[in-house]
Amino acid sequence: MTTGAYVRLGRLATRVSRLWLGTVNFSGRVEDDDALWLMDEALDRGINCVDTADIYGWRVHKGHTEELVGRWLAKSGRRDDVVLATKVGGEMSERVNDGGLSARHIVTACEQSLRRLGVECIDLYQMHRIDRAAPWDEVWQAMENLVASGKVCYVGSSNFAGWHISEAQASAHRRNTLGLASEQLLYNLAVRHAELEVLPAARHHGLATLAWSPLHGGLLSGVLGKLAAGTAVKSAQGRAQVLLPALRPAIEEYEAFCARIGHPPAEVGLSWVLSRPGITGAVIGPRTVEHLDSALRATELRLDDEQLAELDRIFPPVGRGGPGPEAWAD
């Protein structure tokens, strides 16, 4: 079983799998040896994108997951098969300048990520979140220097608002540079606000869009059935646990719908995300090879118009649906 066809990274020529192997569960929820094996299995199944961040591994120490990915790249000898993505901007320590998107931190953090990953170039260097204190000229100056020196290939964003994307691109265009290649955004059936402005902005500017938490931390993976059976792990904590009380009636309908059409909730939820206009791919966080295979099956599942309409009824889009301002204005 493989991911099937590859797609372009937004408006750019690099080709990527529709599933990206997210590593946020490594270094704490997945033992290191199991994580190394999962990366091998993902690559063998056609997933060519590995997504991490400098702060990942905080359950052990920040940077541990990049170190783990670096060990895997060195051991596997398949660096050229991987589109390697990491992130910058999180607080790495209590030191006053050891976080954010100052030019000083971007350059220093990139050097540290390169060392931990054991590579000469990061394919996609993503700003983990907006830094309101950092002017775009400062951000782009640092990123341009990293690209010019061959340490970064593309620059991406994560958790940006639509207007942040447009502002970033306007600044990059004034400097005659490529600007953003991608936006990584929270998007799933239960949380659809990105449809209003983030997805339209990304599509307008030709950015790839990568949905993180496509099952909302397990909320859409059959949480009620797992809780009843006593098998819930991730879906019994975190963002899934926070949202479950408010969405329990919808989740009950959703799990009944999935049972009726004969597909597991995790595969239905991921298939829905991958079917959405403008979505390039989804960042998955499997803890086992069974989770990985389930995600791969979701890439082959095609929901028909009637099923998609039923999911819209269970999890209505924000406002009147579609992009703003039409979604909320008369």
Residues with Cβ < 8 Å from 34, sequence gap 6 or more?
Answer: 287, 288
- Whether 290 and 284 have beta carbons less than 8 Å apart is answered as no
Tokens of 43: 């690559």
Q: How far is CA 314 from CA 55, 67, 256, 262, 278, in A?
A: 36, 42, 11, 17, 22
Residues with Cβ < 8 Å from 292, sequence gap 6 or more?
Answer: 38, 41, 42, 45, 284, 286
Please enumerate, as own/partner, the contacts of 171-175 that have beta carbons within 8 Å and a separation of 24 or more.
171/136, 171/137, 171/140, 172/136, 172/140, 175/137, 175/140, 175/144
Of residues 169, 153, 187, 10, the one with CA closest to residue 84: 153
Amino acid found at 326: E
Cα distance between residue 236 and residue 248, in whole Å: 13
Tokens of 4: 């099937």
Cα distance between residue 81 and residue 90, in whole Å: 28
| Catalytic hit among 6, 56, 187, 254 | 56
- Assess whether 154 carries a catalytic annotation: no
Of residues 160, 178, 159, the one with CA closest to residue 169: 178
**Catalytic machinery residues:** 56
